[in-house]
Protein backbone atom coordinates (compact mmCIF):
# COMPACT_ATOMS: atom_id res chain seq x y z
CA UNK A 1 0.00 0.00 0.00
CA UNK A 2 1.09 3.53 -0.67
CA UNK A 3 1.12 6.62 1.52
CA UNK A 4 -2.39 7.53 2.67
CA UNK A 5 -1.49 11.12 3.62
CA UNK A 6 -1.43 12.32 0.02
CA UNK A 7 -4.26 14.53 -1.29
CA UNK A 8 -5.32 11.90 -3.85
CA UNK A 9 -6.27 9.50 -1.06
CA UNK A 10 -8.35 12.23 0.61
CA UNK A 11 -10.07 13.02 -2.68
CA UNK A 12 -10.71 9.29 -3.32
CA UNK A 13 -12.21 8.93 0.17
CA UNK A 14 -14.51 11.91 -0.41
CA UNK A 15 -15.69 10.54 -3.75
CA UNK A 16 -16.26 7.11 -2.21
CA UNK A 17 -18.31 8.54 0.63
CA UNK A 18 -20.42 10.83 -1.54
CA UNK A 19 -21.03 8.74 -4.68
CA UNK A 20 -20.05 5.25 -3.58
CA UNK A 21 -21.87 2.49 -1.80
CA UNK A 22 -20.77 -0.73 -0.11
CA UNK A 23 -22.51 -3.88 -1.24
CA UNK A 24 -22.41 -7.40 0.19
CA UNK A 25 -22.92 -10.35 -2.10
CA UNK A 26 -23.15 -14.03 -1.31
CA UNK A 27 -21.25 -15.99 -3.93
CA UNK A 28 -20.73 -19.64 -4.69
CA UNK A 29 -17.34 -20.80 -5.97
CA UNK A 30 -16.27 -24.43 -6.20
CA UNK A 31 -19.40 -25.39 -4.24
CA UNK A 32 -18.33 -23.16 -1.34
CA UNK A 33 -20.28 -20.13 -0.23
CA UNK A 34 -18.45 -16.94 0.60
CA UNK A 35 -19.25 -13.26 1.11
CA UNK A 36 -17.93 -10.64 -1.26
CA UNK A 37 -17.84 -6.94 -0.33
CA UNK A 38 -17.51 -4.36 -3.08
CA UNK A 39 -17.40 -0.60 -3.24
CA UNK A 40 -19.50 0.58 -6.18
CA UNK A 41 -18.88 4.07 -7.52
CA UNK A 42 -21.65 5.33 -9.83
CA UNK A 43 -22.22 8.77 -11.37
CA UNK A 44 -23.56 10.32 -14.57
CA UNK A 45 -20.22 11.90 -15.51
CA UNK A 46 -17.82 9.50 -17.25
CA UNK A 47 -14.86 11.85 -16.68
CA UNK A 48 -15.39 11.64 -12.91
CA UNK A 49 -15.46 7.82 -13.03
CA UNK A 50 -12.24 7.86 -15.09
CA UNK A 51 -10.62 10.13 -12.47
CA UNK A 52 -11.79 7.77 -9.69
CA UNK A 53 -10.30 4.86 -11.66
CA UNK A 54 -6.97 6.65 -12.10
CA UNK A 55 -6.70 7.58 -8.42
CA UNK A 56 -7.62 4.02 -7.37
CA UNK A 57 -4.80 2.72 -9.54
CA UNK A 58 -2.28 5.21 -8.13
CA UNK A 59 -3.21 4.80 -4.45
CA UNK A 60 -4.13 1.09 -4.30
CA UNK A 61 -2.37 -0.27 -7.42
CA UNK A 62 -5.70 -1.68 -8.65
CA UNK A 63 -6.95 -1.26 -12.19
CA UNK A 64 -10.74 -0.96 -12.45
CA UNK A 65 -12.99 -1.46 -15.44
CA UNK A 66 -15.62 1.17 -16.21
CA UNK A 67 -19.13 0.15 -17.26
CA UNK A 68 -22.08 2.11 -18.56
CA UNK A 69 -25.43 1.09 -17.12
CA UNK A 70 -28.66 0.97 -19.10
CA UNK A 71 -29.96 4.01 -17.21
CA UNK A 72 -27.05 6.07 -18.58
CA UNK A 73 -24.81 6.24 -15.52
CA UNK A 74 -21.17 5.17 -15.40
CA UNK A 75 -19.88 2.82 -12.74
CA UNK A 76 -16.86 0.86 -11.53
CA UNK A 77 -16.40 -1.64 -8.69
CA UNK A 78 -13.53 -2.38 -6.36
CA UNK A 79 -13.28 -5.32 -3.98
CA UNK A 80 -13.40 -3.77 -0.52
CA UNK A 81 -12.96 -6.72 1.85
CA UNK A 82 -9.21 -6.08 2.31
CA UNK A 83 -9.63 -2.29 2.31
CA UNK A 84 -12.15 -2.12 5.18
CA UNK A 85 -9.57 -2.87 7.93
CA UNK A 86 -7.39 -0.04 6.56
CA UNK A 87 -10.31 2.37 6.73
CA UNK A 88 -11.20 1.19 10.23
CA UNK A 89 -7.60 1.81 11.31
CA UNK A 90 -7.73 5.34 9.86
CA UNK A 91 -11.20 5.88 11.43
CA UNK A 92 -12.91 6.42 8.06
CA UNK A 93 -16.49 5.19 7.82
CA UNK A 94 -17.60 4.31 4.27
CA UNK A 95 -20.83 2.72 5.50
CA UNK A 96 -22.56 5.99 6.33
CA UNK A 97 -22.80 9.60 5.19
CA UNK A 98 -19.46 11.43 4.86
CA UNK A 99 -17.43 11.19 8.05
CA UNK A 100 -13.93 12.63 7.65
CA UNK A 101 -11.08 11.19 9.73
CA UNK A 102 -11.04 12.47 13.31
Give the CATH number, domain containing residue 46.
3.10.28.10
Residue 101 lies in a domain: no
pLDDT digits (tens, 9 = 90+) for 58-82: 888 888 999 999 999 999 998 888 8
Q: Is residue 13 assigned to a domain?
A: yes
Spell out the per-residue pLDDT of the chain, length 102, in tens: 455 677 788 888 888 888 888 888 888 888 888 888 888 899 999 999 999 999 988 888 888 999 999 999 999 998 888 888 888 888 877 765 555 555
Structural domain of residue 73, as residue ranges? 7-89
Integer Cα distance of 50 and 41 in angstroms: 11
Amino acid sequence: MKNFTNPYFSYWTGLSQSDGSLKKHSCLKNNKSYEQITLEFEVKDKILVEKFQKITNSVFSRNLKIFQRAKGTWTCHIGAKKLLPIFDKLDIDLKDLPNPPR
